[in-house]
Structure formats: structure tokens, C-alpha cells
Amino acid sequence: MKLRIIVCLFATMIISALLTPFVRKLAFKVGALDDPNKRRMNKIPMPTLGGLAIFISYTLATMVMMRNQMPTQQLFGIFAGEICIIGTGVIDDIFVLKPHQKVFGISLGALMVYFFGNVQMTTITIPFLGMFHLGWLSLPITWIWILAITNAVNLIDGLDGLATGVSIIALTTMGITGMFFLNIGNTYISLMIFSLVAAEIGFLPYNFFPARIYLGDTGSLFIGFMISVFSLNGLKNATFVTVIIPVFILGVPITDTVYAIIRRLLNRQPISHADKRHLHHRLMQIGLTHRQAVLVIYGIALIFSFISLLYPISNVWGSILLLVASLLGLELFVESIGLIGKNRQPLLNFIKKIVKNNTSRSNH
């Protein structure tokens, strides 16, 4: 059985690699191109729709090659949501949708997996307070989670191979955590996760710098959506640890999204306002090359993943201390690269003030 699964995953990777050149040609034919502009990093029109190759190979793996490993109702419920997301992404890559139209497509996919795929958060356990049944709040909280994670992954898709590589790291960590640490009892979820990883690995050589094809919204929305759905399977009966683990695993896209919102609010701009101060932009603005910026963010994603693996073996107080230390370290990094702005460095300024005062006292 294990050998069969390994063969299926390897076949998924090969199918994705073989499909990608055909999807690239299709993108040119249907006009799914990313034209250069002030916000884009590409200098020539680039074909999108790359996510279509990932989706097809992943679907062949889960719906055909490993079909007997999956529960029918949940599999088809999730698949219905996938179709909504892929449809939204393809339309956006060809015709360019408005933000509220994309939100509608993601919301439709969320409703599909909630009602037909039984992917939902129903209870939450808060340390020292106990368990709470979410009741009618289950639907809006599940919807917000799916919408937030999907958009977070979509937001970091700004450099060649960035979203693909970061999501491979995140998904691999999620699969390992679910299989060996959380013991959520759904082995098929880990198989679905690793099937998506295999599909992305097959696509990555075409997407890494210099890219020959982009994920497009077809890919970034699909990957983000699937990550949100997979993480919710471990959050059905949420606890502090089961909530914090996927948040850390997705540390890069979540950090970029949260600080983008803070930056725009401080600058009194709409949250949907586009700018060139995202994490990857800032790394390049301080002197890193395209490839170096991507590799640095891969490294950051690996650090987040390593931290997430410490939570299942920590007690409550250890988890809280780990969270506080991680947030302080993250804030220092964010301020040092000017992610919010050059003049917005409260923690760094506080540390400099303390050091200056201590130096002055020692001199006296």
C-alpha cells in the first residue's frame, strides 16, 4: 500500500510537469497573460493559468489514482468547492475580475465545502476557560478563515516561484504535523496534502526564476483555498495549539497580509489599495536580487515551519512563551526591513533608547 501511494505521488509530479507546457500554450491562445506595468515585476507579457496544471494533476491523484483511500462525500464536497475556485481564477486570469467578484467566487467555494464537504469549525477550546460550541458562528468563522488564507496566499504571488515554493513548505509541514503529531485520524487528508505538494513540485521548475509561466489567480487562489480547507480538518474541534500551528505554518503569507493592512490603515488608504511595499518588494528594495529575495523568503517559511513543529511537544505555558518570543522576533525583522514604513519602528526605537540610556549611565 505504501509503495502504491509513493508511486501515485511520483506519477502526480510527472503529470504536472508534462501538463505545464500545454497549459502555457493554452494561456497564450486564450489571452491569459500578465502584461508588464508599474506593479508587476515582469518586463514582458507572461502566460498565467499555471494553476490549471496543478489542479488537473492533483485531481487525477485524488479522484482516480488514490480514489479508494478517500471518503466519497467529503471528497466530492471539497471538489465542488475546488471547481468554484478554479472557475473564478480562470475567469480572472483571462478577463480580470474586480475584488468583490473574486470574494464572491471564494465565498461560493467556502459554502460548498462547509455544507457538502463537512469542512467546518464547530468548537473551540480556550486555555483556562474551557470548550465553547460555536453554534451559528461556525459558518461565518469558517468562511472568514477560508477567505483570509486564500487571499493571503494570493497576495504573496509576486515573484517567480514564491507562492509555489512557500506553499510547498507550508503543505509539507502541515502533512507531517497532521500525520505524526496532531493525530487527527484522517490519514486521507495527509494523502491529499502530499498529492498537492507533488503537483506543485512538478510545476515549480517552470515557475522558478526565470519563470516561463505564472501560477496566475487560477493557481494562487486554488492553493490558498486548499491550504485553508486542509487546515480546517485539524480545526473542527479547535484548541489553542491546533489554531496556532497552521497560523505559524502560513507565517509568511499571513505576516505579509497583516502588515499590508496595518500599513494601509496608517497611511489612510483603502485596504484593497495596491502598493510595492510587500515583503518581497522590500527585500529587493534593500538590495537583494530576484532569486535572493525568493530564497530568503523560503528560509523564513522554513523557520516558521520549524517553530510550528515545536508546538505539539510544548505545554500551554511553553506554547505561550514561544508565541511571544516569535512575535517579538517577527516585529524586529519587519521593522528592520521597513515593511510598515521607514519611520515606523517603535520596538527598534525602544531598544535603541534603552541601549543609549545604559551607555550614558555606564559613561558616568
For 223-272, give the DSSP string.
HHHHHHHHHHHT-TEEEHHHHHHHHHHTHHHHHHHHHHHHHHHHTT--TT
pLDDT per residue rounded down to tens, the chain (364 residues): 678 888 999 999 999 999 999 999 999 999 999 877 666 666 678 999 999 999 999 999 999 888 777 777 888 999 999 999 999 999 999 998 998 999 999 999 999 999 999 888 887 776 666 677 788 899 999 999 999 999 999 989 889 999 999 999 999 999 888 777 655 446 788 889 999 999 999 999 999 988 999 999 999 999 999 999 998 886 666 676 778 888 898 999 999 999 988 888 888 888 777 777 889 889 998 999 999 999 999 999 999 999 998 988 888 788 889 999 999 999 999 999 988 877 888 888 888 888 877 777 766 6
Could you give the CA distance from residue 275 to residue 219 in angstroms, rounded to a whole number?
A: 22
Considering only CA atoms, give the Rg of the chain: 21
Instruction: Round to whole Å and give the CA distance between 86 and 189.
Output: 20
Q: What span, in angstroms and rounded, lies between the C-alpha atoms of 53 and 15?
A: 8
Residue pair 54/223 in contact (Cβ under 8 Å)? The answer is yes
Does 217 count as an annotated binding residue?
Answer: yes
pTM for this structure?
Answer: 0.91
